Amino acid sequence: MSRLLSTWRTLPLTSRLGLAVVVVLCAVAILAPWLAPYDPSERVARPFAHPSLDHPLGADDAGHDLLSVLILGARPSLLVGGIAAVVATAVGSTVGLTAGYLRGVVDTVLMRVVDVVLSLPVVPLTLVIGVLAGPGLPTQIVVISLALWAPMARELRAQVLSVRERDHILALRAVGARHGYVLIRHVVPTVAVLVVPQLVLAVKSAVLLEATLAFLGLGDVSSMSWGMMLSVANSRNAFLTDAWLWWVVPPGAMIALTVLAVALASGAVERVAAGSGAARRERRTSGPRGRARLDASGRAAPSGTGEFTAEIPPEGAVTRSASPIESVRSTERGPSTELHAGASAPALLHLEGLTLRYGDGDEVGGGCREVGLELLRGEVLGLVGGSGSGKSTVASAVVGLMPAAARLQGGRILFDGIDLLELGPRERRHLLGSRIGLVPQEAQSALNPVHRVGEQIVEALLVHERLPHESARERARELLGLVGLPAERFRAYPHQLSGGQRQRVVLAIALACGPDLVVADEPTSGLDVLVQQEILELLRDLRDRLGLTMLLVTHDLPVVMQVADRLAVMHDGQVVEQGATSAVLAAPQHPCTRRLLDSLPELPDLEGASR
Ligand SMILES: Nc1ncnc2c1ncn2[C@@H]1O[C@H](COP(=O)(O)OP(=O)(O)OP(=O)(O)O)[C@@H](O)[C@H]1O
């Protein structure tokens, strides 16, 4: 209540005024039968009676009290407007969400339907539908909803297109989460803030359209809305006498007042919706009072100090069923370290002539050409090259998250003998996260900022494994331990972690279901040198302990030199050189490899300098 009051105080005067008028109008509509001084269907005055104390708005041609008709008219006007707006918003939002999220054929078909609806002239269309369906409130609701849903669908689709490309949504799709799950749990909450003000604006348009339809004779004569009052006044020659002053002006003024008030109130609703989203985030990020605070290393710090806050689970709350490594190993599927870099070992990942370009027609370009790579089980392959050489294109093709503009022109990606490019979306989703894990670039944006990091690991686990929630949480804590984070970090939000800690969480998500292959796209970018070193040590450690098979994409040669068994160098979309790391570094064959090596900084001879 106090939050509502404080929000009310922050609203501009016009918004407050609009909200107040909307509330009064709704109250009048609800209480109309008790507020109206007379029964509007009874003849209580002489026809065309002028306004008087008994009848402040006079009477119509049949002697009905016009004030009572006006008060009762609020009901159908607001009811039709409200219901039609809700229906239009529901249809428009569903279409916009589906088209924007699924893209492809679904998007094309739905947007062409939207284009057709938008190109139809509203008034003649409504007349045709009205004549076919017959006048009445249901017809009005259908016609108004039909006229309003299409612009909403278009607007929402644009928002969803941008939200679906956010890194944390891509990261979730990379662990194989179902479309419905990603939509409902991550996309809908983000765009809901936009839907609420749209709904309010739709009410405004719907009230106006209801009046238009009623005036055109598509209203329900048995329930006299304000639009219907105008229609009846017109047909009963109110304009030929001075009766229009009290028969036409008041309902016209009420329609104008409603539209204006709703328009003013929409600003307030937008603010409140955005505010409540922010407050929810704030509540989530600050957590309940009285929680212990942790310092950067995860130890308890005196409350009221320190940047990091996280709840410490009660002592003994976690009963460890297996060591973190055992947890991950228990889901391992193939041989690992024994076959490490063995020349005769079967390739886990095999790319043949992969050609992927961006754009269509004359605009086609970029991407990668005729890429051939082989990654053995237990091996770390470093994919290096300058900016724009095509590394990310190859990585995105392996995990199946190519940008919309990407066009596959040929080649195969064999993963454990399965051609990934031949798989349907559902089969591919089953592999992602469970057998192929992705460590995306930019851990900060790959994590959902309003969900606890532990829950994000749990989410990745539950996408593929049927586990009781508590067991999943326990596994998530073990995975945190595996990547070198204290289990207490489970309850932290991404912003409460350092860059290196976030990167570890992203790694834990990638490892959650014990994948056979991990694709790490620039896993150390944006981190300072010391943290980079820590992450590299962690990768090395995981490789040795778990026999991880990893495709490590980076432009940073020193990074791969420390972890990769073999290197593949890309330039201009092609692999120009590949071989054992030591061999490539010792005797680079291609000028690009030599340039990459030459670009490595050399430390000055400090000893010499100090002499
Ligand atoms: N969505 C896209 N639309 C059009 N062209 C693209 C798109 N993404 C990449 N490209 C082009 O494809 C080529 C390869 O890009 P890619 O991102 O794979 O390179 P990269 O080696 O990963 O570079 P960086 O290290 O800078 O990310 C570049 O020429 C780039 O301009």
* CA pair distance 369, 51, nearest whole angstrom: 84
User: Ligand 1 pocket, 392 CB below 6 A?
Assistant: yes
- Listed in order, strand segments (DSSP E) in 220-364 are 293-294, 300-301, 347-358
Nearest CA owner, ligand 1 atom 22:
392
Question: How much is the pLDDT for 363?
Answer: 75
Give the three-class secondary structure for 6. helix
pLDDT tens across 68-127, in order? 999 999 998 898 888 999 999 999 999 999 898 888 888 899 999 998 888 888 777 777
Question: How much is the pLDDT for 321?
Answer: 38
Q: State the alpha helices, DSSP H only, in 183-248.
A: 188-213, 226-235, 244-247
Q: Which atom of ligand 1 is nearest to the CA of 390?
A: 18
pTM above 0.80, yes or no: no
566-571: strand order across its sheet: 436-439, 517-521, 549-554, 380-385, 566-571, 574-580
Question: How much is the pLDDT for 1?
Answer: 61
* CA pair distance 577, 573, nearest whole angstrom: 12
Question: How much is the pLDDT for 65?
Answer: 92
Report whether 412 contacts 349 (CB < 8 A): no
Q: Which atom of ligand 1 is nearest to the CA of 359?
A: 4
Q: Which residues of the chain have pLDDT under 70?
A: 1-4, 7, 270-346, 601-611
Nearest CA owner, ligand 1 atom 28:
388
Nearest-CA neighbor of 387 among 545, 570, 544, 531?
570
User: Ligand 1 pocket, 396 CB below 6 A?
Assistant: no
Burial 260-293 (b: 16+ CB within 10 A, else e): ebbbbbbbbbbbbbebebeeeeeeebebeeeeeb
Burial 440-460 (b: 16+ CB within 10 A, else e): bbbbbbbbbebbbbbbbbbbb
Of 351, 389, 552, the residue with max ligand 1 atoms within 8 A of its CB, to mutate for a pocket test, comes to 389
Nearest CA owner, ligand 1 atom 29:
366
Cβ neighbours around 255 below 10 Å, total: 23
Question: How much is the pLDDT for 323?
Answer: 35
Nearest-CA neighbor of 488 among 526, 453, 449?
453
Question: How much is the pLDDT for 345?
Answer: 53
Question: How much is the pLDDT for 526?
Answer: 73
pLDDT tens across 510-548, in order? 888 888 899 988 888 777 777 888 888 888 888 887 888
Question: How much is the pLDDT for 604?
Answer: 54
User: Ligand 1 pocket, 252 CB below 6 A?
Assistant: no
Integer CA distances (angstroms), 452 to 193, 210, 281, 330, 506, in order: 21, 47, 11, 26, 13
Nearest-CA neighbor of 52 among 39, 71, 65?
65
pLDDT tens across 373-398, in order? 999 888 899 999 888 899 999 998 99
ipTM score assigned to the predicted complex = 0.95
Question: How much is the pLDDT for 179?
Answer: 78
User: Ligand 1 pocket, 555 CB below 6 A?
Assistant: yes
